Chains A and B, each alone.
Chain A
Amino acid sequence: MSVIATPARQSTGGISARTVNRIVIYGLLALFALFYLMPLFVMLVTSFKTMDEIQNGNMLALPQAPTFEPWLKAWGEACVGLTCAGIKGYFWNSIKMVVPAVLISTLLGALNGYVLTKWRFRGHTLVFGLMLFACFIPFQSVLLPMATILGSLGRFGVTLRNATGLSFGLGNPTVNLVFVHVVYGLGFTTLFFRNYYEAFPTELVKAAQVDGASFFQIFRRIMLPNSMPIFVVTVIYQFTNIWNDFLFASAYAGTGDAMPMTVALNNVVNTSTGVVEYNVNMAAAMIAALPTLLVYVVAGRYFVRGLMAGAVKG
């Protein structure tokens, strides 16, 4: 706040005052940027150092002899609990869980937004209000009820398997996590798409109706192809949230083969076999953070644009 208030107060003071302001503003911004980037920098340099260098050198110093050894070890050999096969398996666990969860929740959110703006029904504001409410539920409060529901679904899966030979994924921890993330992501994805489609010209939908397109044809041919910015925003938001989720992951898949990356990382750090291998831990953490970084780099410019579009018009 002080950064914004400063130029307003001194803007009448002539060129020299403006220059001072600029210096103060950019100085502060640089300071904050440094403050934010420092941990990342430490992680990055540490992950390329040998244990000797970490124990004897400066934390901020650049690696003397950069080595990829910690990264390889984190990927393929680090111990998670009792198994020492690296985090690669858990990395794929996360991918298998995140990709369907993001796609399903985004598509359902788009569908909800489409219905809530272009096919309005009596009480649509109430329905939207209730969906919004889902955004404000503290996730700790739903852990136990959700566990009960997942338990019932698991038992139903067993019944199904006994009857038909197929459980349809019910009871599978990955499927459970996908389900949980879709349910709790819907509030946000619906909010994003509703606000975007609110500003979407209704005449396009009317024109398509006159052209004879059906409900889903309009959705697929008219709405979705014109939703790229908000689609990217939602995907980034959902991907980051679900990938980084630790609470649901540890509660519903905290042990066993389906453990996602976040839980595995926690276990890597907590597994102590004598010396704490900071370089391996940092490399594992970097690997865990890479996919979200990648999503930002690839789609980041849409993120800003999409947020603006939703904010201004919605």
Chain B
Amino acid sequence: MAFLEIDGLRKRFGSVEILKGIDVDLEKGGFLVLVGPSGCGKSTLLNTIAGLETITEGEIRVDGRTINDLHPSKRDIAMVFQSYALYPNMTVAGNIAFGMEMRGVPAQERQKAIDKVAKVLQIGHLLQRKPSQLSGGQRQRVAMGRALVRDPKLFLFDEPLSNLDAKLRVDMRIEIKRLHATTGTTIVYVTHDQIEAMTLATKIAVMRDGEVQQFGTPAEIYNNPTNLFVADFMGSPAMNLIPATIGGNGNALSVVLQREAREPISLPLADAPTGLSAFHDRPIIFGVRPEALTDPEGAERNASNIATADCHIEVVEPAGSDTFAVTNLGGKAVVARLRADANIQPGTSTPLAFNLTKAVFFDPATENRIL
């Protein structure tokens, strides 16, 4: 039995269904990230777990206990809000201790708990300040301190890093990961940033329009997306999704990619998914991540199925650690990720290696993965 279980959760506002039957579960000590574009229902889902929104149907259990109708304070949870939601009229210490004060914890114990948390988060010198006297990163720490001090069964984070600047965001991301590793708490985390999702999660739920599109480990989501939406949403730069057709014959299928003013590329597929034979001569979407499309010298050595084809390079973007090259295949701009020192010029043709073991195929009609 999982630690956090959400069964058939539905949430309606009048006739509008915000959450359309969510089934998710998380083991103890896990880190679940709910990710999706704005308006997909991820924050609403988090609020229903917190008890700040009621649910229309379904059940939420934490550690075997149904918490559907419990008041937020009775659910043994702590929450970190996007705006940090620090009480502006109280000092940092007052903020951290407010929950304990409400529960009638004696002042001495409160002080002990504050000191302990302040030590973990290194905010000891800030305890007597007001939130308005803190920087963004410090406020973030205090907000986390307020959650930590409760020692709850479940931590809820609602886009906690989205108000920080880029560098601080990376630092705090590492800090949250370290905190999770050292305290071993169970966390549910909402973000629209897929990099946060990939780096932090032990489990990811990709959401769209109130439905979970895919639920799995970061590796599963990244390497085996179940549909076009997940493939497109996760990963940066995004996966290349190229309109193509299936050619070849019975045992030896190949992917045919159209090119501008040149004959199409045909890439032979050594171990094509079985479902793909039904799409012979029919259009499909061919998905290949930029890192699976690279210069032949930089290609993965032990990949079993690599095909090389000459491509016309339109744009070259040196990004420091890598060089991205843009070519045009099937009428779309396709990004290839090359070694930083790859010798490549825009406007020339160069051979690119397609790692077809990593390639995925989608049915353009249903947008689902062809397996």
Contact = CB atoms under 8 A, between A and B. Distances in A.
Say whether A and B bind each other. yes
A206 interface: yes
B73 interface: yes
Contacts of A222: 87, 89
A211 B102 CA distance: 7
A223 to B, nearest CB: 10
A208 B77 contact: no
Contact of B85 (A207, A217, A221, A225): A207
B50 A210 contact: yes
B213 interface: no
B52 A201 contact: no
Contacts of B85: 201, 203-204, 206-207
Contacts of B47: 206
A213 B146 CA distance: 14
A135 to B, nearest CB: 30
Contact of A203 (B83, B98, B99, B102): B83
A221 to B, nearest CB: 8
A203 B82 contact: yes
B347 to A, nearest CB: 51
B83 A212 contact: no
A206 B52 CA distance: 7
Interface string B172-208: 0000000000000000000000000000000000000
Which of B52, B73, B79, B85 counts the most A-chain CB atoms under 10 A from its CB?
B85
Given A203-B81, A203-B83, A211 B89 contact: no
Contacts of A226: 87-89
B101 to A, nearest CB: 8
A209 B73 contact: yes
Given A213-B102, A217-B102, A208 B87 contact: yes
Nearest to B103: A212
B72 interface: yes
Interface residues of A, number: 16
Given A210-B79, A211-B98, A204 B73 contact: no
A222 B89 CA distance: 8
A207 B81 contact: yes
Nearest to B88: A226
B83 A201 contact: yes
Contacts of B88: 226
Interface in B79-110: 79, 81-83, 85, 87-89, 98-99, 102-103
B92 to A, nearest CB: 14
B77 to A, nearest CB: 7
Q: What's the interface size class on B, roughly?
A: 20 to 34
A212 to B, nearest CB: 3
Contacts of A204: 85, 87
A226 B132 CA distance: 13
A210 B102 CA distance: 10
A211 B104 CA distance: 12
A114 B43 CA distance: 24
Interface string A170-193: 000000000000000000000000
A209 B99 CA distance: 9
A170 B146 CA distance: 49
B353 interface: no
A204 B52 CA distance: 12
Contact of B78 (A206, A209, A210, A213): A210
Query: Which of A201, A206, A208, A217 has the most chain B CB atoms inside 10 A of its CB?
Result: A206
Nearest to A217: B102
A117 to B, nearest CB: 15
Contacts of B146: 207, 211
Contacts of B81: 203, 206-207
Contact of A212 (B50, B52, B87, B102): B102
A207 B52 CA distance: 10
Interface in B154-188: none
Given A203-B81, A206-B52, A207-B79, A212 B73 contact: yes
A63 B99 CA distance: 64
Interface in B285-335: none
Nearest to B98: A211
Given A203-B81, A209-B52, A210-B78, A225 B73 contact: no
A217 to B, nearest CB: 7
B89 A210 contact: no
Nearest to A207: B85
Interface in B91-145: 98-99, 102-103
B42 to A, nearest CB: 16
Nearest to A225: B89
Contacts of B73: 209-213
Contacts of B89: 222, 225-226
Given A203-B81, A206-B52, 10 more contacts: A201-B83, A204-B85, A206-B47, A206-B50, A206-B72, A208-B98, A209-B72, A210-B52, A211-B146, A213-B102
13 contacts: A201-B85, A206-B85, A207-B87, A208-B98, A209-B51, A209-B72, A210-B73, A211-B146, A213-B102, A225-B89, A226-B87, A226-B88, A226-B89
Interface of B: 47, 50-52, 71-73, 77-79, 81-83, 85, 87-89, 98-99, 102-103, 146
Top 9 nearest A-B pairs (CB, nearest first) are: A212-B73, A211-B99, A225-B89, A203-B85, A207-B85, A212-B102, A203-B81, A210-B72, A209-B72
